[in-house]
Chain A
Amino acid sequence: MRTDEPILRIEDLAVYFKTIDGDAKVLDGVDISIHKGEVVALVGETGCGKSVTGKTILGSLPIPPAKIVRGRCFFKGKDLLSLDKDERREIISNNISYVPQDPMTSLNPVFTIGEQMLALIRWHGKKRAGLRAFLGRYNKRDDSWGKAIELLNKVKIPSPEMILNRYPVELSGGMRQRVLIAMSLIGNPSLLIADEPTTALDVTIQKGIIELIKEKVEEENLSVLYITHNLGVARKLSDRIYVMYAGNIVETAKTSELLDSPLHPYTQGLIKSIPKLTGEEFRGIDGRIPDYIYPPSGCRFHPRCDRAIEKCSMEKPKLLRIKDSHSVACHIYSYKEVTSVIDERSDITG
């Protein structure tokens, strides 16, 4: 259990999306905190609100249709959601960066890698760029070309000079993802939000990217929020895991503890669903992710849960700390197994 102030702390975040049929209650009370130098994985199925969480932190949610109903998001002590636009932009652009999911569509196909990287380097943190930024590398005082090469070296791309003159289509998926990671390191960020950066890649390439991220975390003292649906990847990379279901954090613990002794029925189901090499029996979870406009009452997982009790449909469970760093939001634990119930939002950290 760490006592120092987390670098990022999200409290009771709720984000709704306006639709014709009513508000889609996509996030409904999310609490996450990330400490310095820590890799935190946010795990959940498609459509559970992982990416919305990441985008809310980055301030890149389209508002409207999205609206932040309640909650706070402290970054280094400042609430990002209550700051005005310019202040927020400044903090985010100097501290937080983003690695997108799909390396195929995240780079502009009509500009070379160099053009895209240099533009970002020159414009970084500026609201307006002066003449120098436009003159670019023809300006002798401009060192952005050198910086780009340095960044590409950091992500272990062979012969970076050549790559800078290439178009994205000429690179492979793994290479493009490396370029995107290099671009995310431009502003020396302290927090990296990676939204499934390896989902579109082969396992062999994925392994290289994971190792690269691990290495950068150590070198640059980064904190990472790693959004993924793959528990295997989360195991390899992360220190702590948050499991998300239908816009709620249902469980959080240290990676090894969560995977070895999961408590929430959803986490247990998720781990049981993965085909194991040991040949254990695997089975899925019945049903599907609920409708967000009319979500189930009480615990949102109760219609799919095989251990649901009466209380589950009536009252929403709170995230309660069961062990030192293991918290779970489930009614079946609130009676029996809890020895010391500490319901304190800011305290739910590993």
Chain B
Amino acid sequence: MNDLILRAEGIYKYFFDSHYGKKTVIKAVNGVDVGVRRRETLAIVGESGSGKTTLGKVLMRIYEPTEGKIWFEGNEISTVNGSKLKAYRKYMQMVFQDPTSSLNPRKRIFDIISLPLKAHFNMSKRERLQRVRELLNKVDLPEDFIYRYPNALSGGQKQRVGIARALALNPKLIVLDEPTSALDVSVQAKILTLLTQLKEQFDLTYIFISHDLSVVKNISDKIVVMYLGYIMESASTEEIFNNPYHPYTKALLSAIPTVTDEERKIIPEEITLQGDIPSPSHIPQGCPFYSRCQERMDICKIKRPRILQIKEGHYVRCFLYDRNGGK
């Protein structure tokens, strides 16, 4: 248990919305338990609307969880705020999805990367200049970029700046929210290689949020599959790809656009999901995946399946593997 850097139990995150007096509750995350080991890469995968980004932000304490507890290195952080929370921010940083909108267009690269240094360490300008140069070297950017503005950079370079900013405080954990989905494949490969190198170099732990399973396969140690705010399946990367249990995981795997024939053999046969992910404000009563499931049964409509350990470290939420759960 001790090597868990981040642990979360029973995380719920609801958003309350009111539209002309009609109140709706958007249930983005529903009872999620996760644990991240030190120096591990945990991938959270799912379609858009599955609550993966919300979960990432709750774990980062950008959002306060509606319910549930989060421990960072054994200290509970789910309710701390103010200066105490700021102290934890040093250890947890985030890299955002869209490199263009996550960098202030009116600030120079130096200002962008050095802002966390200023906020947390109260460094002098000379120290900050030195540190920013160092960081730019780490992410393979030329030093003379410090006086440029983000719009003079390409997408890949901007994402490198975003990574440098996350590294500035020497964090222990970085949440990567689809860091390469806005980039071309040739650039994506470079960024992923950089992320792997940095992880080795700085003993980092990653939470990698993504919808691209071929990327996840190559970078992560453990995968959590989410659907409508519920964890549907969670296991090591090998397990998920070799023995997927949940019909949703199978469908996700079968939808990967593969390039070579060898890849085609790895993923399950053709499954095409009908329809769309339901709205998180109207989660179905039974299994959340009922409306699109290929192997649905009568019980799935009425009762919500529980998450069950099938093998060592392999958890699935499905009645197909929990025959007694329905009774």
B189 touches A275 (CB 8 A): yes
Chain B CB within 10 Å, residue with most, of A174, A269, A282: A282
Nearest CB in chain A: distance from B314 CB, A: 19
Residues on the A chain within 8 Å of B266, using CB? 277-278
B259 touches A207 (CB 8 A): no
Q: With A235-B258, A236-B257 as known contacts, state yes or no: A275 contacts B214, CB within 8 Å.
A: yes
Kindly specify which of B17-25, B167-175, B179-187 makes contact with the partner chain: B179-187
Kindly specify which of B31-39, B60-68, B142-150, B248-256 makes contact with the partner chain: B248-256
B257 touches A275 (CB 8 A): no
B257 touches A279 (CB 8 A): no
Report how far A175 CA is from B279 CA in the complex, Å. Answer: 14
Residues on the B chain within 8 Å of A282, using CB? 189, 192, 218
User: Is A229 among interface residues, defined by CB-CB distance under 8 A?
Assistant: yes
Of residues 230 to 272 in B, which have CB atoms within 8 Å of A's CB atoms?
241, 251-252, 254-263, 266-267, 272
Report how far A277 CA is from B214 CA in the complex, Å. Answer: 5
Of residues 264 to 323 in B, which have CB atoms within 8 Å of A's CB atoms?
266-267, 272-277
Contact with A along B96-116 (1 / 0, CB 8 A): 000000000000000000000
Q: With A236-B257, A277-B263 as known contacts, state yes or no: A203 contacts B211, CB within 8 Å.
A: yes
Q: With A211-B272, A277-B214 as known contacts, state yes or no: A235 contacts B47, CB within 8 Å.
A: no
B215 touches A275 (CB 8 A): yes
User: Is A233 among interface residues, defined by CB-CB distance under 8 A?
Assistant: yes
A279 touches B217 (CB 8 A): yes
User: Is A310 among interface residues, defined by CB-CB distance under 8 A?
Assistant: no
B260 touches A285 (CB 8 A): no
User: Is B229 among interface residues, defined by CB-CB distance under 8 A?
Assistant: no
Q: When the two chains form the complex, which single residue of A203, A259, A269, A270 contacts B260, counting CB atoms closer than 8 Å?
A: A259
B190 touches A204 (CB 8 A): no
Main secondary structure of the interface of B (DSSP, over half): helix
Report how far A69 CA is from B129 CA in the complex, Å. Answer: 48
B259 touches A232 (CB 8 A): yes
User: Is B154 among interface residues, defined by CB-CB distance under 8 A?
Assistant: yes
B260 touches A278 (CB 8 A): yes
Q: When the two chains form the complex, which single residue of A173, A204, A271, A273 contacts B188, counting CB atoms closer than 8 Å?
A: A273
Q: When the two chains form the complex, which single residue of B154, B190, B256, B259 contacts A284, counting CB atoms closer than 8 Å?
A: B190
Report how far A203 CA is from B277 CA in the complex, Å. Answer: 12
Q: When the two chains form the complex, which single residue of B184, B187, B252 contacts A203, counting CB atoms closer than 8 Å?
A: B252
A269 touches B259 (CB 8 A): no
A279 touches B276 (CB 8 A): no
Contact with B along A311-328 (1 / 0, CB 8 A): 000000000000000000
B256 touches A204 (CB 8 A): no
Report how far A207 CA is from B211 CA in the complex, Å. Answer: 14
Nearest CB in chain B: distance from A64 CB, A: 24
Contact with B along A248-271 (1 / 0, CB 8 A): 000000000001100000000111
Tell me the count of chain A residues lying within 8 A, CB to CB, of chain B. Answer: 40
Residues on the A chain within 8 Å of B273, using CB? 204-205, 207-208
Q: With A207-B272, A229-B185 as known contacts, state yes or no: A277 contacts B48, CB within 8 Å.
A: no
Nearest CB in chain A: distance from B180 CB, A: 9
Nearest A residue to B217 via CB reads A277
Q: When the two chains form the complex, which single residue of B185, B193, B267 contacts A270, counting CB atoms closer than 8 Å?
A: B185
Residues on the A chain within 8 Å of B261, using CB? 260
Residues on the A chain within 8 Å of B190, using CB? 283-284
Report how far A90 CA is from B36 CA in the complex, Å. Answer: 61
Residues on the A chain within 8 Å of B51, using CB? none
Report how far A178 CA is from B48 CA in the complex, Å. Answer: 18
Residues on the B chain within 8 Å of A208, using CB? 272-274
Q: When the two chains form the complex, which single residue of B188, B189, B259 contacts A235, counting CB atoms closer than 8 Å?
A: B259
A175 touches B259 (CB 8 A): no
Residues on the B chain within 8 Å of A336, using CB? none
Of residues 172 to 213 in A, which have CB atoms within 8 Å of B's CB atoms?
172-175, 202-208, 211
Report how far A270 CA is from B187 CA in the complex, Å. Answer: 10
Residues on the B chain within 8 Å of A259, using CB? 259-260
A275 touches B218 (CB 8 A): yes
B218 touches A206 (CB 8 A): no
Of residues 144 to 175 in A, which have CB atoms within 8 Å of B's CB atoms?
158, 172-175
Report how far A278 CA is from B47 CA in the complex, Å. Answer: 23
Q: When the two chains form the complex, which single residue of A173, A211, A231, A283 contacts B259, counting CB atoms closer than 8 Å?
A: A231
Contact with A along B73-101 (1 / 0, CB 8 A): 00000000000000000000000000000
User: Is B56 among interface residues, defined by CB-CB distance under 8 A?
Assistant: no
User: Is B162 among interface residues, defined by CB-CB distance under 8 A?
Assistant: no
Nearest B residue to A175 via CB reads B276
Residues on the B chain within 8 Å of A260, using CB? 260-261
Nearest CB in chain A: distance from B81 CB, A: 35
User: Is A46 among interface residues, defined by CB-CB distance under 8 A?
Assistant: yes
Nearest CB in chain A: distance from B277 CB, A: 8
Nearest CB in chain B: distance from A87 CB, A: 38
Residues on the B chain within 8 Å of A272, using CB? 189
A172 touches B156 (CB 8 A): no
Chain B CB within 10 Å, residue with most, of A173, A272, A288: A288
Residues on the A chain within 8 Å of B47, using CB? 202-205
Report how far A277 CA is from B260 CA in the complex, Å. Answer: 9
Of residues 128 to 169 in B, which have CB atoms within 8 Å of A's CB atoms?
154-156
Contact with A along B176-220 (1 / 0, CB 8 A): 000000001111111011000000000000000001111101110
A232 touches B257 (CB 8 A): yes
Report how far A235 CA is from B214 CA in the complex, Å. Answer: 15
Q: With A275-B214, A282-B189, A288-B154 as known contacts, state yes or no: A203 contacts B258, CB within 8 Å.
A: no
Residues on the B chain within 8 Å of A127, using CB? none
A284 touches B262 (CB 8 A): no
A274 touches B259 (CB 8 A): yes
Nearest CB in chain B: distance from A162 CB, A: 14
Contacts from B to A (Cβ < 8 Å): 47-48, 154-156, 184-190, 192-193, 211-215, 217-219, 241, 251-252, 254-263, 266-267, 272-277
25 contacts between A and B (CB under 8 A): A45-B185, A46-B155, A175-B276, A202-B48, A204-B47, A204-B252, A205-B47, A206-B257, A208-B272, A230-B257, A235-B258, A270-B185, A271-B259, A275-B188, A275-B215, A277-B241, A277-B256, A277-B263, A277-B267, A278-B263, A279-B218, A284-B185, A284-B187, A284-B188, A284-B193
